[in-house]
Amino acid sequence: MSITVDIALLSGKTVTVKTGLDDQVETLKLQAQTMLGVGRGRLLNSSGVVLDACSKIEDAGLQNGDSLTLHIKNVQVQTTRSAFAAILGDGCVKSWGDAGRGGDSSAVQDQLTNVQQIQATDSAFAAILGDGSVVTWGDVASGGDSSDVQDQLKNVQQIQANAHAFAAILADGSVVTWGHECSGGNSSDVQDQLKNVQQIQAAGNAFAAILGDGSVVTWGYPGYGGDSSAVRDQLKNVQQIQATLHSFAAILGDRSVVTWGDAGSGGDSSAVQAQLKNVKQVQVCGFAFGVFAAILGDGSVVTWDGRDHSDFSWSSDALDQLKNVQHIHATQCDFAAILCNGSVVTWQGGDIVNVLDESKNVQQIQASENAFAAILADGSVVTWGYPGYGGDSSAVQDQLKNVQQIQATSRAFAAILGDGSVVTWGYPGYGGDSSAVQDQLKNVQQIQANERDFAAILADGCVVTWGSSIFTWGDAASGVLKDLMMALGLGASHRPTSLSHNNVVVLLDAVLPKSGNDLYLVFPAAAHDLDKAIRYNLLDGAAQRLVARDMARALRYLHESGLIHRDIKPGNVLMEPTGARLCDFGLVRCFGSSRSLTEYVGMRWYRAPELLLAKTNYSEAVDIWAYACVVAEMAECLPKLTPEDNGKATRLHSQDCLNAIAPVLPEFMGGSADLAPSNMTLMMLGRRIKTRPLRCV
């Protein structure tokens, strides 16, 4: 038996659909979507109740002549650093990208229905359902597992996330947290204070909650904003809070500003405190770069990042031009301010470096790490900054007409035109080349981006992605790399293109010159390495633990991939705003084979006993030894081992290592839930290889 029902969109467009009583509601919905020419949605009965897509028509209580509504929601996309998750029109979720960082939601797919909102840490997602419950997936250490607090996650109103932890505000104003404990996943120390919470702001590894009485409660890494005790008496009548990666800035009711957190990331505003009066808004200019900019009531600007700027002073030209500022944007090096007359002033330090006069009438600005792109009133685009980061759009300038919106990864831009097509430029491996999907980029409504990839949402609800996941090198360079990997005994799965982890350096490109035998490998630029950070004492205890955690994660990833690094040392750890990355894979080899390995590898300060004894059948345990040496060096800012020669080292090295490092590691490593417990630290330095752990996490 069959019935006929009318199904309408909110616009009023209606179709009549015939369906059998034994058919599923999902079948009826698909018929209606096809006939109406729309994407996925939800069917509501005349009472506004959402029909279960898996139920039969008869069980849903539908009768002949009923009128239903097909509710189409806009697709919403959220990103971790290397994965995407989209809420589709029917409230279901589709995820893709790095499986271990949230790209695979299959384990919880049947729970992801009627999803209202998704929030993301660096490596995990959390979805709020219509009934106020929460579903999580992704990296367990970054909040992908909420099982310990699942019974508390009821009537959730909103979720905030930092790099590695989530914080959910419930209907009664209380807060539930999970994820990395030291990053704010454990709020037990302040739980009794978290009442009547109105909003939560997140830095990279800390949270700040504004309560109903205008006071503030903080938790997470103390040195990165999790401890506000030094300014607690000043944090009264707080109206809003902004955050960089490692600090917070609060605007009070009297329009003054209070800051706390890492002094070098904006947590110390003492140098400009006298100027921070009548503050209209505080903007974060480059979250990871630690710079705040305050726009005052008269339209002037005050910026600070807490570093020592003894040579900094505003030029008179800069002061004359920075008036009536409306919005501020920033790259790693430069600021750009849109003035009320549509002109733009770009400055670095105290000097003006670029001016777009008012005739340009700039409407909006987008920034990559080192370049700007501005949409003008006539729909054209002006770019400036480093060419490799999107600062040069000359190759596509004739296509950039009637531009509606621009989005950016860290090194490329994507513009949506009035006809729904997309134009991209910048570094190819970061989304600057969309040629592989260009024929799909039609009727684009919006674009989302993470560090290296773009995701375009089309009018029909489909999503198209491009960037690092589809970028391929030229055949010549790729062939040389393949031959090189084979010569080193590395299979296809071990090629640099296959290694993808947040704490492993990214190989951007491989270039063969027209002449000569050199192969040039291109990697992202980093501010400095761990060796410099140790020598100049740039890391406090909390930062040291973060670096140790990131190194441990990178080593675990390599070892699970069947690889030994063989050259773990501070100089091979790059320090980026978003974390530490292991680099220099020139000595990497596979382990577990019968093939002999070179005995003379690594620096003597980090060389395991078996290497000093010229063994050629060693394992990944040599990396664990070196890791422990680096961690100890961070703790005291000095190399722990300085053997004068290998002869002496062969005889005394192991015991010297134990005597020098053992007292440092237990207390240091006990501060992070991701690192091995204290009773494992001595095992890391064990002379007997069989008792040395093969993983540090």
Distance, in Å, from the CA atom of 568 to the CA atom of 555, rounded to the nearest integer, reads: 9
Tokens of 413: 């831009």
The pLDDT assigned to 353 comes to: 57
The pLDDT assigned to 689 comes to: 47
Distance of CA 378 to the CA centre of its chain: 34
What is the number of residues in the chain?
697
Q: Provide the residue type at 617 as one letter.
A: N
* Secondary structure of residue 424 in the 3-state scheme: strand
Residues 530 and 440 in one domain: no
Query: How big is the CA angle at 86 (ends 85 and 92), to the nearest 5 degrees?
Result: 110
Residue 640 has pLDDT above 60, yes or no: no
The pLDDT assigned to 675 comes to: 42
The pLDDT assigned to 405 comes to: 95
Distance, in Å, from the CA atom of 26 to the CA atom of 23, rounded to the nearest integer, reads: 8
Tokens of 690: 């069989």
Task: Determine the average pLDDT of the residues in 637-659.
Answer: 49
The pLDDT assigned to 382 comes to: 93
- Estimate the crossing angle of helix 646-661 against helix 621-636, to 10 degrees: 60
SS3 content of the chain, % helix, strand, coil (to 5): 25, 30, 40
* Secondary structure of residue 649 in the 3-state scheme: helix
Residue 220 near residue 227 (C-beta atoms within 8 A): no
The pLDDT assigned to 519 comes to: 65
Residue 112 has pLDDT above 80, yes or no: yes
The pLDDT assigned to 288 comes to: 57
What is residue 504's DSSP assignment?
B
Residues 385 and 518 in one domain: no
Q: Do the domain assignments include residue 273?
A: no
Q: Do the domain assignments include residue 357?
A: yes
Distance, in Å, from the CA atom of 337 to the CA atom of 178, rounded to the nearest integer, reads: 38
Least confident stretch, 85-89, 471-475, 653-657: 471-475
* CA trace torsion 96, 98, 100, 104 (10° rounding): 10
The count of C-alpha atoms lying within 13 angstroms of the C-alpha of 450, restricted to the half-sphere facing its C-beta, is: 29
Task: Determine the average pLDDT of the residues in 36-65.
Answer: 85
- Residue 352 phi/psi, 5-degree rounding, is -70, 130
Residues 463 and 533 in one domain: no
Q: Residue 5 contacts by C-beta under 8 Å, 6 or more apart in sequence?
A: 16, 17, 19, 28, 62, 64, 65, 66, 67, 68
- Please state, in angstroms and as integers, the Cα–Cα distance from residue 231 to each residue in 217, 226, 292, 656, following that order: 11, 12, 18, 45
Q: For the chain, how many structural domains are there in total?
A: 3
- The domain boundary residue, chosen from 47, 71, 95: 71
Distance, in Å, from the CA atom of 576 to the CA atom of 112, rounded to the nearest integer, reads: 34
Q: Do the domain assignments include residue 100?
A: no
Q: Which residues of 228-238 are buried (b: 16+ CB within 10 A; e: fewer)?
A: beebeebbeeb
> Look-up: residue for tokens 């009066």?
277
Residues 494 and 407 in one domain: no
Q: Provide the residue type at 315 as one letter.
A: S
Task: Determine the average pLDDT of the residues in 58-79.
Answer: 86
Distance, in Å, from the CA atom of 245 to the CA atom of 364, rounded to the nearest integer, reads: 24
Q: Do the domain assignments include residue 356?
A: yes
Residues 463 and 479 in one domain: no
Distance, in Å, from the CA atom of 461 to the CA atom of 528, rounded to the nearest integer, reads: 42
Task: Determine the average pLDDT of the residues in 449-468.
Answer: 86
Q: Identify the H or E element spanning 621.
A: helix 621-636
Residue 412 has pLDDT above 70, yes or no: yes
β-strands 115-120, 93-97 pairing: unpaired
Q: How confident is the model at residue 543 (pLDDT cuts 50, 70, 90)?
A: confident
Tokens of 587: 């000595």
Q: How confident is the model at residue 560 (pLDDT cuts 50, 70, 90)?
A: confident
Q: How confident is the model at residue 393 (pLDDT cuts 50, 70, 90)?
A: very high
CATH number of the domain that residue 6 is part of: 3.10.20.90
- Percent of the chain predicted with pLDDT > 90: 34
CATH number of the domain that residue 426 is part of: 2.130.10.30
- The domain boundary residue, chosen from 24, 55, 71: 71
pLDDT, averaged across the chain: 81
Tokens of 628: 């422990």
Residues 642 and 496 in one domain: yes
Residue 267 near residue 225 (C-beta atoms within 8 A): yes
Residues 454 and 521 in one domain: no
Closest CA to 204 of 163, 263, 259, 241: 163
Q: Residue 100 contacts by C-beta under 8 Å, 6 or more apart in sequence?
A: 123, 138, 139
Q: Which residues of 575-601 are buried (b: 16+ CB within 10 A; e: fewer)?
A: bbbbbbbbbbbebbbbbeeeeebeeeb
Residue 656 near residue 644 (C-beta atoms within 8 A): no
Residues 449 and 545 in one domain: no
Residues 500 and 455 in one domain: no
Q: Do the domain assignments include residue 158?
A: no
Give the Cβ contact number of residue 115 at 10 Å.
Answer: 22
Q: Do the domain assignments include residue 93?
A: no
Give the Cβ contact number of residue 517 at 10 Å.
Answer: 7
The pLDDT assigned to 319 comes to: 56
- The domain boundary residue, chosen from 471, 500, 525: 471
Closest CA to 201 of 190, 216, 214: 216
Residues 555 and 524 in one domain: yes
Least confident stretch, 31-40, 137-146, 590-599, 638-647: 638-647
Closest CA to 564 of 515, 597, 612: 597
Higher confidence at residue 598 or residue 300? 300
Residue 68 near residue 89 (C-beta atoms within 8 A): no
Task: Determine the average pLDDT of the residues in 519-535.
Answer: 78
Task: Determine the average pLDDT of the residues in 648-652.
Answer: 44
Distance, in Å, from the CA atom of 275 to the CA atom of 300, rounded to the nearest integer, reads: 10
The pLDDT assigned to 653 comes to: 47
Task: Determine the average pLDDT of the residues in 585-604.
Answer: 72
Q: Do the domain assignments include residue 610?
A: yes
Sign of the C-alpha dihedral computed for residues 476, 477, 480 and 481 taken in this order: negative
Higher confidence at residue 294 or residue 525? 294
Highest mean pLDDT among 112-116, 369-373, 412-416, 688-692: 412-416
Q: Do the domain assignments include residue 25?
A: yes
Largest CA distance in the chain: 93
Q: Which residues form the domain of 400?
A: 334-471
Residues 440 and 524 in one domain: no
Residues 515 and 662 in one domain: yes
pLDDT tens digit sequence for 274-317: 999 999 999 887 665 677 889 999 888 888 875 544 334 444 56
Q: How confident is the model at residue 516 (pLDDT cuts 50, 70, 90)?
A: low
CATH number of the domain that residue 520 is part of: 1.10.510.10
Q: Identify the H or E element spanning 165.
A: strand 165-170
